[in-house]
């Protein structure tokens, strides 16, 4: 028999699948749809490491199972390719970020394709492709049109030494990541998106989706809705100071006020507590935030820990016994949010240009749709400028333009969009038809895409990193809700179900990173063990949602399991139902006689099917291992049992199962077979062990259903090899059957 040779098998089937296009969605299918989504990767220069594919394999298993269940499955992938690492690399090396991105995506693509993941590559997208970002720009114009994009003076992180604006990620402990200089805040006019207008919708939508509770809590906390009251305290008779409190009932216990900010004009003065009518001092302190509530609080030391601490430290009065006020007695009811509007400008090169111009006469003017995409021009230097402007500001011939409204001189906006922009709507871009990318940017063209949105949205299952459960998830929900409100998408929540995977750590428990030199490249694992083993190992190594250490020596377990399944086909040769060594029975009566196989088979189907739904990939695999071991212990293996094992294993080890399947004479792919179903009535066995005696001495045993009749029991017993040995040439004079317990043969 041929040895298991993954390399040969995997190359062959990957080519075959590409040729037959079996993972493409079928545009004309009447089958129900299923949309599985993973967070598309950022193609960094480091290439893929073994942590990247963990979520891809997880949802690949789900997607493959769904196809076998008859769904028309969309499982797409693309590249989230704008952003800092590529830009910083360009700054360092002078290489064009476009070229760098192309090289990196080529590497990532080759690596991902070697793993046999059933992505529909015909739908590959790239956020840096002008055909893609022309729509990102268009959506920005829609925000502008609906008053949700606006300009405001906001601080940026400024490194006084390097003289550049830094992204938040480049500020480490308040210092510039490059030179270690203390970062200062510099005011600049920036584009903002009014996500706060969607705070309530983003909150209430959470009640309609299937996300882990932990994720919902994180989102709720980020939005931070508080219901309370604003109460005015009179200061110096003529003026008043407004505080925000969620506990207006504690006003009788308020013995001082605290304001945020450096030198507030109220500090050091006295205010009147409207409840007690007493004079109370106004202080200032850092624990009161300037940009939350009204930037001022009433200090209630009896009921608030921080107020108590502050009062003790500064010898302020403390009253512990006081009357509770009614919630409406003082002040007015208000609702406050922690959520802030989204700073949408970056003073960087490698992002989508913001498609507006500034005209002295007309103000800020959006570009007409027909001028999209506004292409990112070539620059000589990718370094941000020492005025804090983006490198685009240095290209005069690009900056100086004419106003679309009055035709006069105008200047282009030189800020670009943040890396979050392209990933805020990519789940829609996967649904675009050819016209969507090739055709014009217009409402008509967008509307041509809505048919597909209607069919495929929302995403049925979205898996991604824990680190994205706040911002990316919130931003993309916001974009989708906005598009929904203006009638451009059919569902208000983009993702029906969300799960997260744990990361893979390096051996020793550290995070894998190039700088630590502990990155494991999947190429070498695929080369030595095969993609199926790598897939199986990554799913078997531990619970999917937990971080787990890579352990190279553990790869051998999954590899041996695959070899065992491979070799099992040797046992099929004789397994025509009429030709089994222990008796001449047809398949059905054998099921009766040897029920254990049937029970385990049904239990296996049930467990594997259910585990895939709950991310229990590791326990699904151990269930398959138990089943394979059981088959291996038997002298003969029924084709039907073996084929069921192959089908259940197919989503996990797609190449090897496909190879065996075709070797068994099937002409269509195992990945298009029907997912096995279990028989509810066969999950529990009422199996008994029947002892076999010859002339009163125990010589063997077999397992059977307790309902086995005398004829079958005697037949099986007589044919057991060990019994034949004792009977030999002798004639059986009599057989005694004690139901479900014993067969005794009496010989001459």
The answer to whether 264 contacts ligand ANZ (rule: CB under 6 A) is no
Instruction: Please identify which residue in the block is written with the tokens 């217009």.
Output: 442
Select the binding partner of residue 405 from ligand ANZ, Zn ion, none (C-beta < 5 to 8 A, by kind): Zn ion
Give CA–CA dist 386/384, Å, rounded.
7
* Residue number with CB closer to ligand ANZ (248 or 458): 248
The answer to whether 143 contacts ligand ANZ (rule: CB under 6 A) is no
Residue 658 token pair: 């496909």
3-state SS string for 343-396: ECCECCCCCCECCEEEECCCEEEECCHHHCCCCCCCCCCCCCCCCCCCHHHHCH
Give CA–CA dist 17/20, Å, rounded.
5
The answer to whether 742 contacts Zn ion (rule: CB under 5 A) is no
Give CA–CA dist 510/643, Å, rounded.
41
Q: What is the dihedral of CA 18, 22, 24, 27, to 10 degrees?
A: 140
CB atoms inside a 10 Å sphere around CB 349:
24
Long-range contacts of 512-518 (CB under 8 A, 24+ apart): 512/49, 512/50, 512/51, 512/550, 514/46
Q: How far is the CB of 624 from ligand ANZ (least distance, A)?
A: 50
Residue 742's DSSP bridge partners are 691, 738
* Residue number with CB closer to ligand ANZ (306 or 682): 306
Residue 178 token pair: 């490059």
Residue 704 token pair: 């059977």
Q: Of 342-381, which residues contact Zn ion (CB under 5 A)?
A: 359, 361-362
The answer to whether 406 contacts Zn ion (rule: CB under 5 A) is yes
Select the binding partner of residue 81 from ligand ANZ, Zn ion, none (C-beta < 5 to 8 A, by kind): none
Closest by Cα among 189, 164, 193, 159 to 176? 159
* Residue number with CB closer to ligand ANZ (246 or 554): 246
Q: How far is the CB of 202 from ligand ANZ (least distance, A)?
A: 17
The answer to whether 405 contacts Zn ion (rule: CB under 5 A) is yes
The answer to whether 492 contacts Zn ion (rule: CB under 5 A) is no
Count of residues near Zn ion by CB under 5 A: 6
Angle between the N-to-C axes of helices 617-633 and 639-649, in degrees from 0 to 180, rounded to the nearest 10: 160
Q: Using CB under 6 A, pick the residue from 44, 104, 118, 245 that binds ligand ANZ.
A: 245
Q: How far is the CB of 230 from ligand ANZ (least distance, A)?
A: 10
* Residue number with CB closer to ligand ANZ (258 or 625): 258
The answer to whether 273 contacts ligand ANZ (rule: CB under 6 A) is no
Q: Of 304-333, which residues contact ligand ANZ (CB under 6 A)?
A: 304
The answer to whether 403 contacts Zn ion (rule: CB under 5 A) is yes
Closest by Cα among 199, 160, 196 to 179? 160
* Residue number with CB closer to Zn ion (141 or 649): 141
Q: How far is the CB of 56 from Zn ion (least distance, A)?
A: 49
* Residue number with CB closer to Zn ion (414 or 445): 414
* Residue number with CB closer to ligand ANZ (319 or 466): 319
* Residue number with CB closer to ligand ANZ (288 or 660): 288
Task: Give one DSSP letter per residue of 185-251, joined into a string.
Answer: EEEEEEEEE-GGGGHHHHHHHGGGSB--HHHHHHHHHHH--EEEEEEEEEETTTEEEEEEES-GGGG
Residue 605 token pair: 């189907």
Give CA–CA dist 562/11, Å, rounded.
17
Closest by Cα among 241, 355, 354 to 294? 241
Residue 212's DSSP bridge partners are none
Q: Of 278-297, which residues contact ligand ANZ (CB under 6 A)?
A: 288-289, 292-293, 295, 297
Q: Using CB under 6 A, pick the residue from 298, 548, 694, 723 that binds ligand ANZ.
A: 298
Q: How far is the CB of 485 from ligand ANZ (least distance, A)?
A: 27
Select the binding partner of residue 480 from ligand ANZ, Zn ion, none (C-beta < 5 to 8 A, by kind): none
Residue 305 token pair: 């820990």
Buried b (16+ CB within 10 A) or exposed e, 675-691: bbebeeebeebeebebb
Q: Of 331-370, which residues contact ligand ANZ (CB under 6 A)?
A: 336
Closest by Cα among 534, 542, 652 to 62? 652
* Residue number with CB closer to ligand ANZ (251 or 367): 251
Cβ–Cβ < 8 Å for 224, 194:
no
* Residue number with CB closer to ligand ANZ (247 or 592): 247
Q: How far is the CB of 293 from ligand ANZ (least distance, A)?
A: 3
Q: Using CB under 6 A, pick the residue from 151, 242, 247, 718 that binds ligand ANZ.
A: 247
Select the binding partner of residue 362 from Zn ion, ligand ANZ, none (C-beta < 5 to 8 A, by kind): Zn ion
Q: How far is the CB of 244 from ligand ANZ (least distance, A)?
A: 4
Select the binding partner of residue 190 from Zn ion, ligand ANZ, none (C-beta < 5 to 8 A, by kind): none
Give CA–CA dist 141/372, Å, rounded.
11
Q: How far is the CB of 362 from Zn ion (least distance, A)?
A: 3
Which part of the chain contacts ligand ANZ (CB under 6 A), choosing from 175-183, 246-254, 345-353, 612-620?
Answer: 246-254
3-state SS string for 684-720: CCCEEEEEEEECCEEEEEEEEECCCCHHHHHHHHHHC
Select the binding partner of residue 83 from ligand ANZ, Zn ion, none (C-beta < 5 to 8 A, by kind): none
List, in order, residues 6 or more apart from 321 with CB less than 8 Å away: none
Which part of the chain contacts ligand ANZ (CB under 6 A), choosing from 170-178, 300-308, 684-692, 698-706?
Answer: 300-308
Select the binding partner of residue 747 from ligand ANZ, Zn ion, none (C-beta < 5 to 8 A, by kind): none
The answer to whether 244 contacts ligand ANZ (rule: CB under 6 A) is yes
* Residue number with CB closer to Zn ion (362 or 505): 362
Q: How far is the CB of 551 from ligand ANZ (least distance, A)?
A: 44
CA distances from 624 to 68, 200, 208, 373, 595 (A): 18, 46, 35, 52, 18
Select the binding partner of residue 298 from Zn ion, ligand ANZ, none (C-beta < 5 to 8 A, by kind): ligand ANZ
Select the binding partner of residue 653 from Zn ion, ligand ANZ, none (C-beta < 5 to 8 A, by kind): none
* Residue number with CB closer to ligand ANZ (295 or 391): 295
Q: How many CA atoms lie within 13 A of 702 on its CB side?
A: 26
Q: Using CB under 6 A, pick the residue from 199, 300, 403, 637 that binds ligand ANZ.
A: 300
Binding site for Zn ion (CB under 5 A): 359, 361-362, 403, 405-406
Residues that bind ligand ANZ (CB under 6 A): 226, 244-247, 250, 260, 288-289, 292-293, 295, 297-298, 300, 303-304, 336
């Amino acid at each position: 028999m041929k040895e298991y040779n993954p390399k040969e098998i995997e190359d062959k089937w990957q080519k075959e699948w590409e040729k037959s296009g079996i993972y493409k969605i079928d545009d004309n299918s009447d089958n129900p749809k299923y949309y599985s989504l993973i967070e598309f990767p950022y193609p960094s220069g480091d290439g893929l490491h073994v942590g990247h594919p963990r979520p891809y394999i997880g949802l690949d298993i789900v997607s493959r199972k769904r196809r076998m269940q008859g769904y028309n499955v969309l499982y797409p992938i693309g590249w989230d390719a704008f952003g800092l690492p590529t830009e910083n690399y360009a700054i360092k090396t002078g290489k064009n970020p476009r070229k760098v991105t192309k090289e990196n995506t080529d590497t990532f693509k080759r690596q991902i394709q070697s793993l046999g993941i059933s992505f529909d590559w015909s739908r590959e997208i790239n956020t840096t492709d002008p055909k893609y970002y022309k729509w990102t720009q268009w959506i920005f114009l829609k925000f502008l049109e609906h008053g949700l994009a606006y300009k405001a003076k906001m601080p940026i992180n400024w490194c006084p030494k390097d003289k550049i604006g830094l992204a938040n990620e480049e500020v480490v402990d308040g210092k510039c990541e490059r030179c270690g200089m203390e970062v200062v805040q510099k005011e600049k006019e920036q584009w903002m998106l009014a996500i706060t207008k969607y705070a309530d919708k983003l909150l209430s939508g959470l009640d309609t989706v299937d996300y882990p509770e932990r994720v919902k809590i994180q989102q709720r906390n980020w939005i931070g809705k508080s219901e309370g009251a604003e109460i005015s305290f009179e200061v110096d008779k003529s003026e008043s100071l407004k505080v925000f409190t969620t506990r207006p009932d504690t006003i009788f216990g308020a013995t001082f006020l605290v304001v945020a900010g450096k030198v507030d004009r109220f500090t050091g003065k006295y205010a009147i507590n409207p409840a007690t009518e007493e004079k109370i001092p106004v202080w200032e302190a850092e624990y009161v935030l300037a940009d939350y509530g009204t930037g001022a609080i009433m200090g209630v030391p009896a009921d608030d820990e921080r107020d108590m601490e502050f009062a003790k430290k500064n010898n302020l009065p403390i009253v512990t016994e006081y009357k509770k006020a009614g919630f409406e007695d003082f002040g007015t009811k208000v609702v406050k949010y922690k959520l802030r509007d989204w700073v949408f400008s970056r003073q960087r090169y490698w992002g989508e240009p913001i498609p507006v111009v500034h005209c002295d006469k007309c103000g800020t003017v959006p570009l007409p749709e027909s001028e999209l995409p506004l292409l990112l021009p070539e620059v000589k230097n990718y370094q941000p400028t020492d005025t804090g402007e983006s490198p685009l500001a240095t290209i005069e011939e690009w900056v100086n333009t004419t106003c679309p409204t009055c035709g006069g001189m105008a200047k282009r906006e030189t800020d670009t969009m943040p890396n979050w922009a392209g990933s805020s709507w990519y789940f829609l871009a996967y649904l675009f038809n050819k016209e969507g990318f090739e055709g014009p940017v217009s409402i008509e063209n967008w509307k041509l895409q809505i048919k597909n949105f209607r069919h495929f949205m929302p995403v049925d299952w979205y898996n991604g990193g824990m680190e994205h459960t706040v911002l990316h998830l919130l931003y993309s929900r916001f974009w989708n809700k906005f598009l929904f409100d203006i009638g451009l998408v059919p569902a208000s929540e983009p993702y029906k179900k969300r799960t997260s995977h744990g990361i893979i750590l390096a051996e020793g428990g550290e995070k894998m990173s190039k700088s630590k030199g502990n990155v494991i490249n999947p190429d070498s694992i695929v080369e030595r063990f095969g993609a199926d083993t790598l897939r199986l190992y990554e799913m078997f190594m531990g619970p999917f949602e937990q971080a787990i250490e890579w352990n190279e020596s553990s790869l051998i377990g999954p590899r041996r399991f695959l070899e065992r399944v491979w070799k099992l086909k040797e046992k099929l040769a004789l397994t025509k139902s009429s030709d089994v060594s222990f008796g001449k029975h047809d398949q059905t009566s054998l099921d009766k006689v040897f029920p254990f196989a049937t029970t385990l088979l049904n239990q296996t189907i049930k467990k594997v099917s259910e585990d895939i739904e709950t991310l229990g990939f590791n326990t699904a695999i151990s269930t398959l291992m138990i089943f394979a071991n059981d088959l291996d212990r038997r002298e003969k293996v029924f084709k039907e049992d073996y084929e069921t094992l192959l089908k259940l294993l197919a989503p996990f080890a797609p190449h090897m199962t496909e190879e065996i399947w075709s070797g068994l004479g099937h002409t269509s792919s195992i990945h298009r077979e029907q997912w096995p179903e279990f028989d509810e009535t066969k999950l529990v066995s009422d199996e008994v062990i029947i002892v076999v005696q010859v002339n009163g001495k125990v010589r063997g045993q077999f397992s059977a259903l307790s309902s086995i009749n005398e004829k079958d029991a005697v037949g099986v017993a007589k044919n057991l090899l060990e019994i034949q040995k004792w009977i030999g040439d002798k004639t059986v004079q009599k057989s005694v059957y004690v139901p479900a317990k014993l067969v005794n043969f009496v010989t001459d």
